[in-house]
Every structure is written in structure tokens, then in C-alpha cells.
Amino acid sequence: MAKKRGTRMIKDLNLKTARESLLLRSLPDPVVDTVLKGAHTRTATRGETLFLQGEMAQVIHVVLDGWVKLYRIAPNGNEAVVSVFTRGSSFGEAVALRHLDYPVSGEAVTDCTLMQISATSLISLMKDQPEICVSILASTFQHLHSLVSQVEQIKAQTGAQRVAEFLLDLSNCADGSCVVTLPYDKVLIAGRLGMKPESLSRAFSKLRPVGVRISKNHATIDNVERLRDYAEEDPAAAWNKAL
């Protein structure tokens, strides 16, 4: 009996996560129920390839648990991390709905669970219920906004400021102290922030004076507000401090 309850709880948690995702949360419950009835769940182990650049996109992904990265391989063979997603995030909407090839590859950063929604089924549903289109547009806009923010960070912030903002995004605390669990290895964090691994180590060192300590896969933040002030500090002043 206990095993059955555990299975049901996991299923309920997955459904709750899917319903609260950016893709589905603004839709009426009957529409969400219809979408979820036709969806499939996929599990992947750490390092498993989800899809490769150039493959045709046929499903929209919603991360139910774990972490996923999207990346491209540059002509010189280096990996460029484009985005990293975790629980409640969706991706692949634009290419799947147009039946285009993936412009990136996807890989499970950790053991993860994904919900896959058929693009063909969703398109049919959109024709019958146009309100779904608004949710799709909102989700696509969020991805665009995220990419613009990444470019802005790389151009306007020091490496230490980018790391500070990354830690703040992971934090559930509005103020005071907190401990953040780093969700994936430091090489991937560096790639996500447009840095080299050695630059990430230097950035962590520069955050010590503002109350950040790194121990294995945990970051202790003494004062969230102080770290936020540092991340939002005028770039010119931050560069002067870094010299």
C-alpha cells in the first residue's frame, strides 16, 4: 500500500509542476486537462542526450524534475551552453510548433523527468481554442527575454556580478542569509555564464568580501540584500574594484 501511495504522490507532483509551468499556468483548467491527457513522461539519466542539433522538433518539453542544458558545438569543437532549465520550465515551443530542426542539442545535466507535449496535437487544439496562442506567445517571449538578459549580463557586468546574479536566481530568500545548492558542475555553470572555469573560480573568490562562501556544491550567502546590491552595482564602479 505504501508503494502505491508513493507512486500516486509522484504523479500528482508531476501534474502540479506541469500545471504551474509558464506554458500552461495561464490556460483554463479544461484546456490544461486536455493537453496533459495527450502528454507523455520521459525520464533521462545524467549525461543522456535528449535530442541533437539538426533533428526535427516534434514535441514541447516541460521539465518536471532535474536540470537540462541546451548547447551548440562551435566549429572549433568547443561547447557553448545556450540555456539551462529546471523544474517548471518549458522549451522547444517555437521550433516544435513550426516543425523545424532543433538549432541546439539537449542533454540531461542531472537525472531528470520531462513531460513531452505533441506539437501536432497542440496545434490542433490551438485551432479549436485560440486562447492557447496567448500562452504560447508568453512562453516564447520569456525565452527571448532570458536570452537578451544573458547577452546584457555578458556585456554589462563583471564575471563576479554575473555569478552573484546567478546565485540570487537560485535563492528562495528575499533577505537575510541563506544556503544555495549549486545544481550542476562548475564547468557547466561557467559555460552558462559565458566564462571559463578558471574565471568562475576567480569570480567566487571576489564574492568572499560580500559574504559568499563556496563549499563543494553549496554557496552560503551571508546577506542576500548585500549581494543583490553588488550584482546591481554600476558596472564602471565594479570594474574599478576588480582592477
The CATH number for 222's domain is 1.10.10.10
For residue 170, give its domain range: 157-242
Of 121, 154, 187, the residue at which a domain comes to its end is 154
Q: Is 147 in the same domain as 73?
A: yes
Digit-coded pLDDT (tens) for 23-36: 887 777 888 888 88
What is the spatial distance between Cα 118 and Cα 121, in angstroms, rounded to a whole number? 5
Choose one of 154, 183, 206: the last residue of a domain. Answer: 154
Q: Are residues 133 and 199 in the same domain?
A: no
For residue 236, name the pLDDT band (cuts at 50, 70, 90). low
Mean pLDDT of 10-23: 74
Same-domain pairing of 174 and 232: yes
For the chain, the domain total comes to: 2
Q: Are residues 132 and 148 both part of a single domain?
A: yes
Say whether both 201 and 129 belong to one domain.
no
Average pLDDT over residues 216-234: 88
pLDDT score, position 37: 85
Read off the CATH number of the domain in which 131 is found: 2.60.120.10
Q: Which of 127, 154, 181 is the last residue of a domain?
A: 154
For the entire predicted model, the pTM comes to 0.72
Q: 121 and 25, same structural domain?
A: yes
